[in-house]
Chain A
Amino acid sequence: MDAGTLELDPGFIDREDIVARLHFLEDMESRWPYSPAKDTPLADRIARCLTLLPNEHRSFALAAFANVVYLPTSLLTESWEYLAHVAAEGEGLSVGELIESAHFLEVDESGLVVDFLHENGVHGRLDTDRFSRLQTIDDLARALLIVGNDEANYKAVAKEIQLAFAKRYWLVLTDNALSGTSLKSDLERCRRLIHAYSELGEPRVVPIVQVLTSTAERNLADEWPVVSALRFDERFKIEAGNKSCTLFSSMETLEGVVELSRWLASQEYFQNDDRLLSTIDKSGDDMALGFKGGGWTLVTPNCPTNSLPILWYVQDGFYEGPFPRIMSRTSQVKGTGGGLTDAAEAMAPEILARIEATCG
């Protein structure tokens, strides 16, 4: 990167320790590449991003990029073994005992259950007599509705449901709980189904999270004690006036990064981006600091929307954040999960009778 052509202030670069921090990030990223960036080196992505920014924001962009907390897949995957031990110790069990007495669910289908079982050396994950394959709360609700509505196919499904409810624990796995919204919604749906189908068993729900923030922790409150591997608090949060933030050497830099974030969110491209409309709507703000005002600089294998959009937002030729995100949700159509749970809850007496008749 040529600081001269970008009119960067060497004093600022020194004060914020930008060279060493970016170099560290570069090393991390070249060892464990950020896959959505498609092999473009980090230095090139940052240089490209800076050239697209008005001059007054460039230094602050650089300060924000230098303070990215990069959490590659290899690091996160290694947390599963730790999490299994912590969860098992919490229940006074060995890891093997916990796994055999648990049904596994994941928030959003993403293969976390398979990773968890592999990392903990569990053989026979496809054994249908040991592990139910209903691995999201939507799967579970859909399966219950099949028992209620599908005359032809309900018998095999009924057995899977019985297996899931017969376990002592439901371990709900998620990679990130940054605002806590999705996790909390799934946990509450678990609770409603367990309540409605308590005749089949009353498993205890244990949320297991790789990356947790203090925001999510507050959102989940004492109601859902979470087992987590990494916890990030206000020290890592970018927000106007956050005196606890330790990412930068001065409040001026923090405010500069906030200003830059506001600048991006105020641009028409950003505000009218079809891919973002539903997320902005759910966020309840302009998303300048990320979904629900996240303000994080966390970069996971697909940079989360709770992190600053200046990191992940891409609109060709207008702005290209160095950690482009593959959007998980772009449609305006609302999810059907809540409706499935409502329906499964409402039909509980009929469905329970059928399961009873099928499985005894």
Chain B
Amino acid sequence: MKIRLKPSSLAQILDCSTKKPTVLIATPNYEERSVWFPQKYFEGCISQAIDPSSVFTQFLWPQGQVTRVELLEQLKGIHFAKLAELRGRFSNEERTPVSYHDDFNPREVVGIVVRSSEAFSGEEHNIVVDISCMPKRVLFSVCEGVESIIRSAEIADCPTVFFVYTAPRRYGALRYAQNVGEVNGLFSGCSIRDAREEDVSAIILPGLQGYESKLLYDEIRSRVSSSVAALIAVSSRDYQTSLAVMRANQFLMERRDITVRYYFSLMDGVRKLERHIQGEAARPIREGSRMILAAPFGHKPFLAASFFILRNLASEQRIHPEIAYVSGFQYLSLYSLGVSHVGGFQLLLEE
């Protein structure tokens, strides 16, 4: 079974919610955009007279011991309160604390996702995951949870899965990145440095901070055979943010052994990412196996997209799919401000 990605909208999600019960998974935090989609979704449910008992909301509530910052916790409370009135009309809701980012346990999140889906066990249903403010390691585990639900069901009984993302109006000034560490693989859970493959094909989707791309490049450039491509966002709405990302990742331009390509929207990027990965998987391998490494350091939807695109390669011989992750936790500053637009995609299953 292959999983394909198709663009989706709030209207489409609401339309599906009128037909089947829905599990909504989200991570409200101190950013305004973190509650934007749930709020719009609940308002839509009310205006379309969707039965409250047909919506189950699972709010993941990341809580760290070491990194707990009272001021941010209070901001979380304020945003969460915005949902209170709407939420009151949807009584079957859970708020589940998740240890993050210290003591993070990926299996705990997978379990929460699977259990949430069981709220409508035996019934056709939708799963809507709002990934806007979901930490990347949590998101990876959510993808694993969703995948396990899909793979354990017959195609006809599979839930309809949507991933939605609310883009911010702008990012706050990035300061004091903490916990910057080495480049790890999310699939293997190991450092990329320890991967045995000498043939590595990496595609970087750079982020605002820049350092992740350089760390990754330094890790893999010494391999016998490596190719590095960068897929850079050029926002049709906000070229200034794109420029900031390009400037932060200037070394990608400097290195002539890196192929640079551009994308103009989430789905444009997903298409180009998928084509690139498929192209790299199809290239002949001289010996051993090839690691195909997606490095979604920028927008979160690309982590979910990379997960499902790479999982489609799972049956390919001599291909080792991997997703690169570098921690750089921003718990000493606000991360984003305001709300720009909502985008997302639906998972389509093919035999």
Binds A, one of B66-74, B131-139, B194-202, B256-264: B256-264
- A246 with B247, Cβ < 8 A, contacts A78-B263, A82-B265 known: no
The verdict on A270 contacting chain B, using a C-beta distance below 8 Å, is no
How far apart are the CA atoms of A336 and B113 in the complex, in Å? 66
How far apart are the CA atoms of A31 and B252 in the complex, in Å? 11
| Residue from A20, A31, A85, A246 in contact with B260 in the complex, judged by beta carbons closer than 8 Å | A31
Chain A nearest Cβ from B54, distance in angstroms = 29
- A236 with B239, Cβ < 8 A, contacts A24-B250, A31-B256, A229-B264 known: yes
How far apart are the CA atoms of A28 and B237 in the complex, in Å? 21
Chain B contact residue count (CB 8 A cutoff): 23
The verdict on B12 contacting chain A, using a C-beta distance below 8 Å, is no
How far apart are the CA atoms of A297 and B258 in the complex, in Å? 27
How far apart are the CA atoms of A231 and B236 in the complex, in Å? 6
Please, which residues of chain A bring their CB within 8 A of the CB of B237?
Answer: 231
Please, which residues of chain B bring their CB within 8 A of the CB of A231?
Answer: 236-237, 239
- For A63-102 the 0/1 string (1 means CB < 8 A from B) is 0000001000011001101100110010000000000000
User: Are A75 and B254 within 8 A (Cβ)?
Assistant: no
User: Are B263 and A82 within 8 A (Cβ)?
Assistant: yes
The verdict on B240 contacting chain A, using a C-beta distance below 8 Å, is yes
| Residue from B7, B239, B247, B253 in contact with A230 in the complex, judged by beta carbons closer than 8 Å | B239
- For B220-256 the 0/1 string (1 means CB < 8 A from A) is 0000000000000010110110010011001001101
A-B contact count (CB 8 A): 55
Please, which residues of chain B bring their CB within 8 A of the CB of A85?
Answer: 267-268, 271
Please, which residues of chain A bring their CB within 8 A of the CB of B246?
Answer: 24
How far apart are the CA atoms of A78 and B264 in the complex, in Å? 9
- For A22-49 the 0/1 string (1 means CB < 8 A from B) is 0110011001000000000000000000
User: Are B7 and A81 within 8 A (Cβ)?
Assistant: no
How far apart are the CA atoms of A32 and B260 in the complex, in Å? 11
Please, which residues of chain B bring their CB within 8 A of the CB of A20?
Answer: 247
User: Are B250 and A230 within 8 A (Cβ)?
Assistant: no
User: Are A228 and B236 within 8 A (Cβ)?
Assistant: yes
The verdict on A235 contacting chain B, using a C-beta distance below 8 Å, is yes
- Which residues between 118 and 146 of chain A lie within 8 Å of chain B, taking CB atoms? none
User: Are B239 and A28 within 8 A (Cβ)?
Assistant: no
- A78 with B261, Cβ < 8 A, contacts A85-B268, A236-B239 known: yes
- For B175-194 the 0/1 string (1 means CB < 8 A from A) is 00000000000000000000
Chain A nearest Cβ from B214, distance in angstroms = 14
Q: Which residue of A lies closest to B265 (CB)?
A: A82
Chain A nearest Cβ from B52, distance in angstroms = 33
- A31 with B263, Cβ < 8 A, contacts A75-B234, A85-B268 known: no
| Residue from A27, A89, A230 in contact with B236 in the complex, judged by beta carbons closer than 8 Å | A230
| Residue from A21, A24, A75, A89 in contact with B7 in the complex, judged by beta carbons closer than 8 Å | A89
The verdict on A232 contacting chain B, using a C-beta distance below 8 Å, is yes
User: Are A27 and B234 within 8 A (Cβ)?
Assistant: no
User: Are B239 and A232 within 8 A (Cβ)?
Assistant: yes
Q: Is the interface of A mostly helix, strand, loop or mixed?
A: helix
- A31 with B264, Cβ < 8 A, contacts A24-B246, A230-B234 known: no
User: Are A27 and B254 within 8 A (Cβ)?
Assistant: yes
Chain A nearest Cβ from B258, distance in angstroms = 10
Please, which residues of chain B bring their CB within 8 A of the CB of A236?
Answer: 239
- Which residues between 321 and 358 of chain A lie within 8 Å of chain B, taking CB atoms? none
User: Are B264 and A79 within 8 A (Cβ)?
Assistant: yes
User: Are A31 and B236 within 8 A (Cβ)?
Assistant: no
Q: Which residue of A lies closest to B264 (CB)?
A: A82
User: Are B239 and A69 within 8 A (Cβ)?
Assistant: yes
How far apart are the CA atoms of A20 and B246 in the complex, in Å? 12
- For A5-30 the 0/1 string (1 means CB < 8 A from B) is 00000000000000011011001100
How far apart are the CA atoms of A236 and B242 in the complex, in Å? 14
Please, which residues of chain B bring their CB within 8 A of the CB of A86?
Answer: 265
- For B33-62 the 0/1 string (1 means CB < 8 A from A) is 000000000000000000000000000000
Among B237, B246, B254, the most chain A Cβ lie within 10 Å of the Cβ of B254
- Which residues between 247 and 292 of chain B lie within 8 Å of chain A, taking CB atoms? 247, 250, 253-254, 256, 260-265, 267-268, 271-272
How far apart are the CA atoms of A230 and B262 in the complex, in Å? 12
Please, which residues of chain A bring their CB within 8 A of the CB of B271?
Answer: 81, 85
Please, which residues of chain A bring their CB within 8 A of the CB of B236?
Answer: 82, 228-231
Chain B nearest Cβ from A135, distance in angstroms = 24
User: Are A31 and B239 within 8 A (Cβ)?
Assistant: no
Q: Which residue of A lies closest to B252 (CB)?
A: A27
Q: Which residue of B lies closest to A230 (CB)?
A: B236
- A23 with B250, Cβ < 8 A, contacts A31-B256, A89-B7, A229-B236 known: yes
Among B236, B237, B263, the most chain A Cβ lie within 10 Å of the Cβ of B236
Q: Which residue of B lies closest to A231 (CB)?
A: B236
User: Are A246 and B268 within 8 A (Cβ)?
Assistant: no
Q: Which residue of B lies closest to A20 (CB)?
A: B247
User: Are A78 and B262 within 8 A (Cβ)?
Assistant: yes
Q: Which residue of A lies closest to B246 (CB)?
A: A24
| Residue from B250, B262, B265 in contact with A75 in the complex, judged by beta carbons closer than 8 Å | B262
Chain B nearest Cβ from A231, distance in angstroms = 6
Point out residues on A near B: beta carbons under 8 Å.
Answer: 20-21, 23-24, 27-28, 31, 69, 74-75, 78-79, 81-82, 85-86, 89, 228-232, 235-236, 246
Given contacts A20-B247, A85-B267, A85-B268, 19 further A-B contacts (CB under 8 A): A24-B247, A27-B250, A27-B253, A27-B254, A69-B243, A74-B262, A75-B234, A75-B262, A79-B264, A82-B264, A82-B265, A82-B268, A89-B7, A229-B264, A230-B236, A231-B236, A231-B237, A236-B239, A246-B240
A-B contact pairs, 11 of them (CB 8 A): A23-B250, A24-B253, A75-B234, A79-B262, A81-B271, A85-B267, A85-B271, A89-B7, A229-B234, A232-B239, A235-B240
